Structure 1
Amino acid sequence: MRRTMLRTALLSLACLTAVLPAAASSRRHVAPPDIAENRVIPMYGNLPACEDPAVLGQLSSWFNSREAKFWEPLQVVTYDRVRPVAFRPWGDDFIPRRFCTGRVALNDGSLHRVDYSVRESLGLFGYTWNVNWCVSGLDRHRSYAPDCKMARP
């Protein structure tokens, strides 16, 4: 009886110690040789800020182009409440990403939340950064459903 209780207690303790480090932090610990900076083509995480005009310009350009081609004649007018959400949230061995959110005003007078990420080495030919985005309420193919959740960390 005591032996069974001891065995059960040890098994419970082993399971608890296996789960605690993962629950304590959402980031994984990565040994220095495995970080993105030490790859054959290194990634340093030098990404523009969320409110950088180049980032918002690229987002506007892609949005305006998509809307003009497939949907309604919606155009981005301005952004506000732009703020960072996370930087490299999954750890140092993943492609560096800066996650941001803000509010976009469209030419029809509506306001929408926009979630986007600036990603390193995912631009043209892997040479520069690019922007992945989702405008809440205008994700018509539900690529980032539900309500742009998949565009956030």
Structure 2
Amino acid sequence: MARRSAKRAGLAGLAAAALLSLGAAAPAVAASLLEKNFWLSGPNYSGVVPACNEQQALDLIASRFAETERRFWNSTLSITEFDKVHEIAFRPWGPEYQPRRYCRGTVYTNDARKRAIYYSIIEDGGFIGASWGVEWCVVGLDRNYAYAPSCKMAGP
């Protein structure tokens, strides 16, 4: 009797494996109209992002830099001035990707030091994608190594 139930279990396992292999070998079926997201047309980027020397972008970088220093590094360091700001790339990977303007410049901080800064202005990169946003890295002050080495990963 035990031998018969073991045989049945083996046959059941074989049948299950056969059904699974048939299911895996079945041809793929196209999505139905309800499964298609026809109302989502994909990203429609305009490519309009502020220039590297746009004062609003520079002010945003300076204020967020000071806030990051204060909140996470217990520092009073802040950016006092931007100099020699220029674009190094715009949409370097082509028009189908999210538009980014890559910039480089020099910043002066309130500790009387001059440092290089790399930043990008990103279309739809702001709060919940409502407007443009910025990402930046000040060489020598990338304390969590997010853009290491020496802010190289902040560039294109």
SS of the residue aligned with 2:49? coil
Distance in 2 separating the partners of 1:118 and 1:44:
14
- Say if 2:96 is the partner of 1:93: yes
Q: What is the letter of the counterpart of residue 55 of structure 1?
A: A
> What runs of 5+ residues in structure 1 fail to find an aligned partner?
1-38
> What runs of 5+ residues in structure 2 fail to find an aligned partner?
1-40
Task: Tell me by how many angstroms 1:41 deviates.
Answer: 4.0
Residue aligning to 1:62: 64
- Say if 2:143 is the partner of 1:152: no
Distance in 2 separating the partners of 1:122 and 1:103:
23
Residue aligning to 2:134: 131
- Say if 2:76 is the partner of 1:73: yes
Task: Tell me by how many angstroms 1:110 deviates.
Answer: 0.5
Distance in 2 separating the partners of 1:99 and 1:66:
21
* RMSD, aligned α-carbons: 0.9
Q: What is the letter of the counterpart of residue 54 of structure 1?
A: Q
SS of the residue aligned with 1:122? coil
Using the aligned pairs only, state the percent identity.
43
Q: 1:51 aligns with which of 50, 53, 78?
A: 53
Task: Tell me by how many angstroms 1:124 deviates.
Answer: 1.1
Task: Tell me by how many angstroms 1:69 deviates.
Answer: 1.2
Distance in 2 separating the partners of 1:45 and 1:60:
24
Residue aligning to 1:29: none
Distance in 1 separating the partners of 2:153 and 2:101:
14
The structure having more radius of gyration, on CA atoms, is 2
Task: Tell me by how many angstroms 1:70 deviates.
Answer: 2.0
Distance in 2 separating the partners of 1:148 and 1:103:
13
The structure showing larger relative contact order (alpha-carbon pairs under 8 Å, at least 6 residues apart) is 1
Task: Tell me by how many angstroms 1:109 deviates.
Answer: 0.1
Task: Tell me by how many angstroms 1:45 deviates.
Answer: 0.7
Q: What is the letter of the counterpart of residue 68 of structure 1?
A: R
Q: Deviations over 1:13-59 (max 9, x none)?
A: xxxxxxxxxxxxxxxxxxxxxxxxxx534111101000000100110
**Normalised by the size of structure 2, how large is the TM-score?**
0.72
| Structure 1 residue ranges, 4+ long, deviating more than 2 angstroms after superposition | none
SS of the residue aligned with 1:58? helix
Matched residue count: 115
